[in-house]
Amino acid sequence: MVRRLILVLGDQLSHDLSALRAGDPARDLVVMAEVTEEGIYVRHHPKKIALILSAMRHFADELRAAGWEVAYPRLDDPQAARSITGELLRRAGAHGATEVIATQPGEWRLIAALDAAPLRVTQLPDDRFLSSPEAFNAWAEGRRELRMEYFYREMRRKTGLMMEGDKPAGGKWNYDHDNRKPAPRDLLRAGPLRFAPDTITEEVLDLVAARFAGHFGCLRPFWFAVTAAEARRAFDHFATHLLPGFGDYQDAMLTGDRFVHHSVISMYLNIGLLHPGDICARVVTEWQAGRVPINAAEGYVRQVIGWREYLRGIYFREGPGYVRRNALGHRRALPAVFWGGETRMNCVAQTVGQTREEAYAHHIQRLMVTGNFALLAGVDPAQVHEWYLAVYADAFEWVEAPNVIGMSQVADGGIVASKPYVSSGNYIAKMSDYCGACAYSVTQKTGEGACPFNLLYWDFLHRHRDRFGRNPRMGPVYRTWDRMAADRRETVLRDAAQVLARLDSGAVV
């Protein structure tokens, strides 16, 4: 019987993967491949590459133990091809196979590469989700606006999570209103569970250090989980120690505590070590047992069954061109500060510094510090997108692109975000302890020492008045702007232009 190849990608490390379900261990050959191209098509953070390669090696061992034959070239194998499709062709030649069974990749680039390969490739749906692109399209059909909140309600009904009959548990669908507390500095939080590298991981770390030395980011200390069993322990630790405060403090940012109450498991979820249904069930159990308040449980479940699934629906609905959208016509090059260049803005320095060390920042750091700054400064959204895709361990295009192009940079023309998520320094001052140690003054609105967010905020709104001026949710801010004295408005715009000129000239901002 002619052998078939079963492709398993680095973010498809689930034993119930559709391609594995369709295969037969007695007949088929699993192909996994460490390839240079996947590490460099954007220059991924070394920690992210190490996570994926180590988790792939552990997963290949688990597959072998389960009876599969696995072809697995390592990155330093001189025979190995440089790309996924190159490796499939090489294996097909060696084994006389013409047929490949794959699970559809989470990125149009690879979907197209598999389509174009001179082999018979079947791309099965990736069903490790609670919804599907087809179900999303059916929901979206005929709607004028694709609001996450309504999709989320449908997902609550569909999954039955936190429902009492056809009503949401506790009477409200969304408890976000309770979730905006700044975190007290003196709380001693457990932080995410850390794992010491085993010998497999140590080998990978040496390899990544040698091969991707020039990439932005610290490789060590490396403490991520690399197997499903470890990832489950990491989630368990979160559910026990941190979930109770997750709701209250989910938007808080603290210098001395990078993870606050976040679970830091998105990277495990997105490479297949955890399943969204399992983690939601656990969260609901904690809430039902009275160990976790409803605002924490609902907030967490919403991120997983609402936000995450909604963004995936948007990515596949909008098609391959989505990552090049630029509705606001932003053209500025990504400033050097994103790659660790010097800055006087403490919030940006903290967020980028943490990103460099951890390959992780939480959602408000990503949305309201770096994302906010890039949007206010008018940075080319494609460059912003590539940055996020490269530097975060959990970033895969299906989830990262709608978050960045849609939610953060409103470059999709308002499909994901009904208004731009922009703020002056005031929001950052309220939600963090960054401003106290900053060279700028957050209360200063104009002049040299003024917080750049204060200046760029008004400059952005002024520049894009045609687009946002008629948005009812933006009405109050435009009225505030209009009430300012004309000479003050002029000063703000002049000072903002100076900040932008400094950015363009490479001067420290």
CA pseudo-torsion sign 129, 135, 137, 143? negative
When asked if residue 34 is in the footprint of ligand DLZ (CB under 6 A), the reply is yes
What is the length of the chain?
Answer: 509
Closest distance to ligand DLZ from the beta carbon of 46 (Å): 10
Distance (Å, whole) CA 349 – CA 385: 19
Rg (CA), the chain: 23
Phi, psi of 5 (to 5 degrees): -100, 135
Q: Is residue 47 within a helix (H) or strand (E), and if so which, with residue range?
A: helix 46-65
Q: Which of 4, 284, 425, 457 binds ligand SF4 (CB under 6 A)?
A: 425
Q: Identify the residue among 13, 35, 260, 509 touching ligand DLZ (CB under 6 A).
A: 35
Residue 180 is which amino acid? R
Of 55 and 451, which has the nearer Cβ to ligand SF4?
A: 451
Would you count residue 287 as binding ligand SF4 (CB under 6 A)? no
Kindly indicate which of the ranges 155-163, 241-249, 447-455, 481-489 contains the residues binding ligand SF4, using the contact rule CB under 6 A: 447-455
Q: How far is the CB of 494 from ligand SF4 (least distance, A)?
A: 19
Q: Residues 346, 351, 408, 409: which binds ligand SF4 (CB under 6 A)?
A: 346
Work out whether the CA dihedral 151, 154, 155, 161 comes out positive or negative. positive
The least CB distance from residue 355 to ligand SF4, in Å, is 16
What is the closest distance, in whole angstroms, from the C-beta atom of residue 139 to ligand SF4 in the complex?
A: 38
List the one residue from 100, 254, 442, 503 that touches ligand SF4 (CB under 6 A). 442
- CB neighbour list of residue 236: distance below 8 Å, 6 or more residues apart: 282
Taking each helix axis from N to C end, the angle separating 309-318 and 133-140, rounded to the nearest 10 degrees, works out to 80
Task: From residue 17, give the alpha-carbon distance in Å to each of 165, 222, 267, 509.
Answer: 32, 27, 17, 47
Q: Which window, 63-71, 144-152, 158-166, 425-433, contacts ligand SF4 (CB under 6 A)?
A: 425-433
Backbone φ/ψ region at 191: left (φ over 0), alpha (ψ -120 to 50), beta: left
11 binds, among ligand SF4, ligand DLZ, none (CB under 5 to 8 A by kind): ligand DLZ
Tell me if 81 contacts ligand DLZ by CB under 6 A: no
Residue 13 near which of ligand DLZ, ligand SF4, none (CB within 5-8 Å, type-dependent): none
Which 3 state secondary structure label does DSSP give 254? Answer: strand
The set of long-range contacts for 24-28, using a CB threshold of 8 Å and a minimum separation of 24, is 25/66, 25/67, 25/68, 25/69, 27/1, 27/3, 28/3, 28/4, 28/68, 28/101
| Residue among 284, 297, 429, 500 that touches ligand SF4 (CB under 6 A) | 429
Site string for ligand DLZ, 115-154 (x = CB under 6 A): ----------------------------------------
List residues near ligand SF4 by CB under 6 A: 345-347, 425, 428-429, 434-435, 438, 440, 442, 451-453
List residues near ligand DLZ by CB under 6 A: 9-11, 33-35, 38-39, 44, 49, 52, 84, 105-107, 110, 396
